[in-house]
Amino acid sequence: MGGLAIRDEAGIAKSLWVKSTNESVFAIYTPYILSLASGKLDSGSFLHCISQDLRFLQASAEALEMAEECSDDDDDKTVICKIRKRVLKKMTMFRSIVQEWGFELPTGNISDRAMIKYTDFLLATASGKAVGERFPGKLATPFEKTKLSAYALAAMAPSMRLQSFLSKEIQAVLEPDANIHLYKKWIDSLSSQKYEASASQIEELLDKLTVCLTGEELQFVETIYHKAMKLQVDFYSTQPIIQNTIVPLYRFHGTEEHNVVICSGFDLTCSAVDSCALLADIAIIKSSKTVNSNGYESLSDGTLLDNRDVWSSLHGHYVREYEQCIDSIMVSEKVMEFNFESLCKALGGLSDLEKAGNLRVCRSGVLKGLHMDDIKWAGEHLVFQDGCVEFFREIEKMKDVAVDAHILSYCWSGDLIRSAFSSGDSGFPDVHSNELVFEESISSGEILKKVQCPIEKLQTFDEICKKGGRLSVYIGGSVEDLLCLLKADIGIVISPSANLKRLGGLFGFSFVPLFSGLVKKQREFIEGGCPWKGLSGTLYTVSSWAEIHAFILGCMI
């Protein structure tokens, strides 16, 4: 966990929820939530989950009773008492809704492993057991015991906020005639203003009770909140369901007969910076160093500025030509329906542009003198998009699952990408890019050109996917990825660029948020069939790698 954002205007509860964004994403892509959103969840699975929710609410009522006893402020006692009454009322409401449907909740005292872990944690926190383990002797005085109220609320708040979030996300993807949805009344109850008020009341009180805590105690509050969130997500991810679901993707397709091949762009999809600009910058600095009489390297300001001018000129020339090329494509007549061939033809102009740009770079000598060690160092220190490296490392650990991973990039140096992933001798993920030419570990300034344009990327992608029985996924975000994105069975776009959106409007392909697209696919899913097909003209958008991870690999937080 990173540093705690505290004392801001939003309050600690809001800060902790924002820091839990990835966890909430993993919850929404679980088989249970996707089945619930699609309206295809088996009633037995649904009733089982409600029975577990009731056990959590019962534990919450007990925890709130303990918190009320520990509090020494009458106003706080009153608020906690009101929250407890709401929890008890909610338990009655849950049972009432089920009875209205003509169902009966499971009898007995059977609890999920995940629910047992959460309720045990909640009660241990509220009773002071967890605090005693973290801060021995801290509960010696009544004043210290008052802090247990804050800790108890920190263990309870994530569940309330996550349920509110999930219900609203589901509501947003319900079909126009939502009355046919079996669980609409349940979803409405969790996304209602009353439920939101209950969640907000707990958070507001948590904000108030943490005002006087020390930095160490605030860190403990964050630890409690984060663990509670993970336990709640684990609860959803382990809910037993009868029907097959299309998530996580690797379980649906990761067999010996049908495996998954994942390809991704690199620049600004995996990396947070443009690799070509990074290489040029390193080369410029390296070429501008001189060795003084003491044997130490120093920078020659004049040479450095000259080299930067060369790069600035190259970059400016490329950008102008690129925008002109895109503008020339945009004057084409709008197609009536998606046509892949016409798009390939339109993007053909980018091939000459990209190749000419690389030729100018080689002739300029801007990459000359770059040492292999400099490239490896740059790769090892390259900044990635949040969650990207973790995604590929998780795949690498899945030895018994048929998932292959590839990187397709215009980058001038495959060594930079391999070093960035620290793949070493493992060769994972497999990198397909251009390569710098070296003479005894020193770059000659020439580029071994392998992947220079959208067409060459597509050719590489087709070669990777030609083996039968493979479901292909392509992840990207720029025009250079477009043909691969559309050709893949599943094309996932991370924050699509402005030019990508412009081309979509002209050539008839569309962008659909991934979760809503999955809900639609789950509604249409037929046992034994494959819901995915390339060249559909639909690209799925995500805001983070956490969504991709949750969709493809499932809950592994």
11-21 pLDDT tens trace: 999 999 999 99
Question: Average per-residue pLDDT in the chain?
Answer: 89
Q: Is the pLDDT of residue 382 over 70?
A: yes
Q: Is the pLDDT of residue 256 over 50?
A: yes
Q: Is the pLDDT of residue 230 over 60?
A: yes
Instruction: Classify residue 356 by burial, with Cβ atoms within 10 Å: 0-12, 13-18, 19+.
Output: middle
Rounded (5°) CA angle 423-287-364: 90
- Residue 260 has φ and ψ, to the nearest 5°, of -110, 130
- C-alpha 219/C-alpha 67 separation (Å) is 20
For 132-169, what is each residue's pLDDT tens digit?
777 766 666 777 888 999 999 999 999 999 999 999 99
The amino acid at 167:
S
Confidence of residue 175 (pLDDT cuts 50, 70, 90): confident
> In this structure, what token pair is assigned to residue 165?
């979030």
Q: Is the pLDDT of residue 423 over 80?
A: no
pLDDT for the residue 299 = 41
- C-alpha 476/C-alpha 84 separation (Å) is 48
Do the beta carbons of residue 539 and residue 509 sit within 8 Å?
yes
pLDDT for the residue 301 = 47
The separation between CA 554 and the C-alpha centre of its own chain, rounded to angstroms, equals 11
Q: Is the pLDDT of residue 501 over 50?
A: yes
- C-alpha 199/C-alpha 14 separation (Å) is 11
Select from 315, 312, 290 the least CA-distant residue to 301: 290
Full DSSP string of 276-301: HHHHHHHHHHHHTEEE-TTS-EEE-H
**Range of weakest confidence among 90-94, 284-288, 468-472, 544-548:** 284-288
Stated pTM of the model: 0.93
For 29-80, what is each residue's pLDDT tens digit?
999 999 999 999 999 999 999 999 999 999 999 999 999 999 999 999 999 9
Cβ neighbours, 10 Å, residue 354: 23
Mean pLDDT of 74-91: 95
> In this structure, what token pair is assigned to residue 432?
């397909």
The separation between CA 9 and the C-alpha centre of its own chain, rounded to angstroms, equals 27
Q: Cβ neighbours of residue 275 under 8 Å, at least 6 residues apart? A: 266, 267, 382, 409, 411, 412, 413, 416, 417
Partners of 470 in beta bridges: 259
Most confidently modeled range among 287-301, 421-435, 477-491: 477-491
